[in-house]
Amino acid sequence: MKLTTTFSRKASMIRSDNPLSEDQLRSVAPSIFAEGRHASRSERYTYIPTIDVLRSLHDEGFEVFMAAQGGSRIEGKEAFTKHMLRLRHASQINGDEANEVVLINSHDGTSSYQMLAGMFRFVCQNGLVCGDTFADVRVHHKGNVIDQVIEGAYEVLHGFEQVQDSC
């Protein structure tokens, strides 16, 4: 399983050894807080609010430690572009390895909603990670997706429990 998303060198990014606040996230990745879909999307597109997912994961003990957002050449579209967040559970904040959830989403049609979970090893200072994933959830922005997103979040959380029990 490979992470199949890229961000250009011009992407905005923030990474920290401490959990990031919503203000920090908003300054680097405002599309996390988009209040709806981009105007280019049809009525069939179902908006999945990233910030609501993040707040629910936060209630389960997950904190954001890295955020990135791509840019856009189209004026006004940047507030809806693809973003990526890396979250760790509060019980595993420091160390050379960590269980992480990688969340990818957009509100302009450039990405499905994706959650990848696994044990990652930090390779270098630029944020490169390697490791094994044990949960991969992808939800297309069509139809009644909210139940799928919630189910996917619990699938990821269940995967973490299995890994923690085996350690």
- Residue 5 confidence (pLDDT) above 60: no
- Mapping DSSP to helix (H, G, I), strand (E, B) and coil, where does residue 105 land? strand
For residue 18, pLDDT beyond 60: yes
The DSSP call for residue 45 is B
Segment 145-156, tens digit of pLDDT: 666 666 766 676
Determine the Cα–Cα distance for residues 73 and 67; give it in Å rounded to an integer: 20
CB 161 within 8 A of CB 153: no
Q: What is the DSSP string of 120-167?
A: EEE-STT--EEEEEEEEEEE-SBSS-HHHHHHHHHHHHHHHHHHHHH-
Element spanning 84, H or E:
strand 83-89
> How far, in whole angstroms, is CA 113 from its chain's centroid?
8
Residue-wise pLDDT for 68-114, tens only, equals 988 777 777 677 888 889 888 776 656 666 677 888 888 887 777 88
Please give the Cα distance from 31 to 35 (Å, whole number): 9
